Structure 1
Amino acid sequence: MSTEVRNNTALERFEIYVDSAIAGYVEYQDTVSERAFVHTEIYPQHEGQGYGRVLIEAALNATRAEGLGALPMCPMVHHFIETRPQYLSMVPHWARDRLGLPQ
């Protein structure tokens, strides 16, 4: 199966496509210097296959490439960052304590 992640800026979300069909998305809201990830949805027929991880990783990598920080408001994005220290630096220090993330 082929996967592709696209940034749908009109809907403010990254979408993951599996074999050209949408399989889920992560919604965001941009501020001046951060991107707040607010909700992630993987459609039921695609759950449990690792697509959420692929989607969130691609969204965070694109966010980093744009020079933005990340605010993991969504529990899935929060867990992803919490378990992958290489992404923790994307979360501003002021937000880490508020979100229960290590400094």
Structure 2
Amino acid sequence: MGGVSMLVEENAAKHRYEILVDDALAGFTAYLPRGEALVFTHTEVDPAFQGMGVGSALMRGTLEQVRAQGQRIVPQCPFMAAFIKRHPEYADLVTSLT
């Protein structure tokens, strides 16, 4: 009983992907659009939601949506870079700005 609902959605107006936990904003990862790539610069999880897997759920949801849209990423954010290192199934999304 009492499962927590997590939803990741893009907030294009703010250039970020947000995670909602039971309809409350629990965190986000911000990006800068650069052509076909999104440069992810910063990830933040509200302290009230830390230790619940929110950061990982945010990364997974964001990367799945980026993949579905056919985009690539530049993980300048250390949190995202570390997540991709631990989850090599997302390494194919990584590109560099040239």
Whether TM exceeds 0.5 here: the answer is yes
In structure 2, distance between residues paired with 1:13 and 1:36: 11
The one-character-per-residue Cα deviations of 1:44-76 (angstroms, maximum 9, x if unpaired) are 000111100000111111111111111110011
Q: Normalization by structure 1: what TM-score? A: 0.86
In the alignment, is residue 53 of structure 1 matched against residue 56 of structure 2? yes
Bigger relative CO (Cα 8 Å, ≥ 6 apart) = 2
CA RMSD of aligned residues (A): 0.8
Q: Normalization by structure 2: what TM-score? A: 0.91
In the alignment, is residue 43 of structure 1 matched against residue 57 of structure 2? no
| Runs of 5+ consecutive residues of structure 1 not aligned to the other structure | 96-103
In structure 1, distance between residues paired with 2:91 and 2:84: 6
| Runs of 5+ consecutive residues of structure 2 not aligned to the other structure | none
In the alignment, is residue 70 of structure 1 matched against residue 73 of structure 2? yes
Kindly report which structure 2 residues correspond to 1:1-103, keeping only aligned pairs within 5 A, or say none.
1-92=4-95, 95=96
Q: Aligned residues, how many? A: 93
In structure 2, distance between residues paired with 1:72 and 1:89: 12
**Structure 1 residue ranges, 4+ long, deviating more than 2 angstroms after superposition:** none
